[in-house]
């Protein structure tokens, strides 16, 4: 699993910082992205590898975000 955190800073004012966490599989495919919702009361999770464009998760349940990301990762073949 690879993770990248980046920020988008649209201009002009009002300034609004957007942080995005991207999870990549070992072969480089984007598995999930996570951003903070407009009012920071929830996370917005996107799981393109399993066809989920938007899943909202309450901010007090970060473990649910981790569960969604891990469930979307491709299963290793033995």
Tens of pLDDT, residues 1-54: 555 555 555 544 444 556 788 888 888 888 899 988 776 788 899 998 888 888
User: What is the pLDDT, as a whole number, of residue 13?
Assistant: 42
Position 78 pLDDT exceeds 50: no
Helix extents (H) in 1-78? 62-72
User: What is the pLDDT, as a whole number, of residue 77?
Assistant: 43
User: What is the pLDDT, as a whole number, of residue 24?
Assistant: 85
Minimal CA–CA distance to 75: which of 13, 19, 26?
A: 26
Of residues 15 and 59, the one with the higher pLDDT is: 59
Asked if 43 contacts 57 with a C-beta cutoff of 8 angstroms, the reply is yes
Asked if 33 contacts 40 with a C-beta cutoff of 8 angstroms, the reply is no
Asked if 22 contacts 6 with a C-beta cutoff of 8 angstroms, the reply is yes
How many residues does this entry show for the chain?
78
């Amino acid at each position: 699993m690879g993770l990248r955190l980046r920020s988008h800073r649209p201009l002009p004012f009002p300034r609004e910082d957007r942080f995005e966490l991207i999870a990549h599989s070992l072969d480089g495919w984007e598995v999930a992205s996570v951003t903070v919702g407009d009012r920071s009361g929830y996370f917005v999770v996107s799981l393109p590898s399993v066809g989920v464009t938007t899943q909202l998760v309450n901010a007090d349940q970060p473990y649910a975000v981790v569960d969604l990301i891990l469930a979307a990762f491709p299963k290793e073949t033995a």
